[in-house]
Amino acid sequence: MAGFDVSAAYVYSPIEEDIYVQAPVELQPKLNGKVMKLKKALYGTKQATRCWWTFSKSVMMSIGFECSEVEASLYLYRKCNSILIVWIHVDDGIFFGNSIGIIEKFLTELMAHVEIRWQANVEKIVGLSIKDKGGQSKINQATLINQYLSEHKRPVVPQYTTLSGKALVTNTNNSLDTTDYQSAIGTLMYISGG
C-alpha cells in the first residue's frame, strides 16, 4: 500500500463557469484595477471542489480505471491478472496493487497529468490510521475518535427523568456561536461513515 498527495490540486482543473477576479497589485502593478477571467479553479471558489472531482475522475478514466458504483472516490484497474485499487479523498490518495509494474505504470501516467508527491508506506490519511502487518492492512479511526473526545469533552451532568424544580435557562443575552456544534456534528458524521 502506498499513497500520494496532489500538489495544488484545484489549479489543474478547468472551470466551466465564467468567473472574474481582480488581479493582486503585487502580482502585476500594471493590472491594477483590472479583472482576469479564470481558466482553472482556484482555492476558495465555490466550484473548486466539484471542478477538481470532475477533472480527477476524467484523468482516472483516461488511464483506464473504472469508477466504483458504490463509492465515487474509489477506482479499479484490471488487466490480465493485475489489479490496482485507488481511493482518492480531495487531493490525497492511497493505492493497493498486486504488481509493481502496474503501480509504476499508474504513477507514470498520473504524473503526466498532475504533480504528485508519493509515499511508499502510508500510516495516516484523512483521520484514518493504517497498519500493514504480514501482508494484511488494518485501518481504524482510533486517533480521530480520541482527538474528537479530547476536544469535545463535556462535564457529566446529572440526568433527570422529570423536569427539575429550577427554571430552565434557554438563552442568555450572549450571542450563540454554533461553530463548535457544527464541527462536532461534522466529525461524528465522518466517523460514523466508517
What is the per-residue pLDDT for 160? 67
Inform me whether the pLDDT recorded for 159 exceeds 90.
no
In a domain, 132, yes or no: yes
In a domain, 130, yes or no: yes
Instruction: Give the residue numbers spanning the domain of 64.
Output: 2-140
User: Which distant-in-sequence residues (6+ apart) come within 8 Å of 188 by Cβ?
Assistant: 148
In a domain, 31, yes or no: yes
Query: Interior CA angle at 86 toward 80 and 122, to 5°?
Result: 120
According to the per-residue pLDDT averaged within each range, which of 93-107, 113-127, 140-154 is highest? Answer: 93-107
User: Which distant-in-sequence residues (6+ apart) come within 8 Å of 7 by Cβ?
Assistant: 114, 115, 116, 117
In a domain, 191, yes or no: no
User: Which distant-in-sequence residues (6+ apart) come within 8 Å of 142 by Cβ?
Assistant: 129
In a domain, 104, yes or no: yes
Looking at the 3D structure of the chain, how many domains does it have? 1
Inform me whether the pLDDT recorded for 158 exceeds 90.
no
In a domain, 32, yes or no: yes
Tell me which amino acid residue 92 is.
Answer: D
Count of residues making up the chain: 194
Q: Which of 86, 85, 83, 96 is nearest to 132 (CA)?
A: 96
Average pLDDT of the chain to the nearest whole number: 85
What cell was used for 172? Answer: 442568555
User: Which distant-in-sequence residues (6+ apart) come within 8 Å of 145 by Cβ?
Assistant: 191
Alpha-carbon span 118 to 93, nearest angstrom: 9
In a domain, 193, yes or no: no
Inform me whether the pLDDT recorded for 32 exceeds 80.
no
Q: How confident is the model at residue 130 (pLDDT cuts 50, 70, 90)?
A: confident
Alpha-carbon span 148 to 191, nearest angstrom: 10
Residue spans of beta strands (DSSP E) within the chain:
2-6, 20-22, 35-37, 66-67, 74-79, 82-89, 92-97, 116-119, 124-125, 128-133, 136-140
Tell me which amino acid residue 138 is.
Answer: K
In a domain, 192, yes or no: no
Inform me whether the pLDDT recorded for 193 exceeds 90.
no
What is the per-residue pLDDT for 115? 93
Alpha-carbon span 46 to 33, nearest angstrom: 23
Alpha-carbon span 161 to 49, nearest angstrom: 46
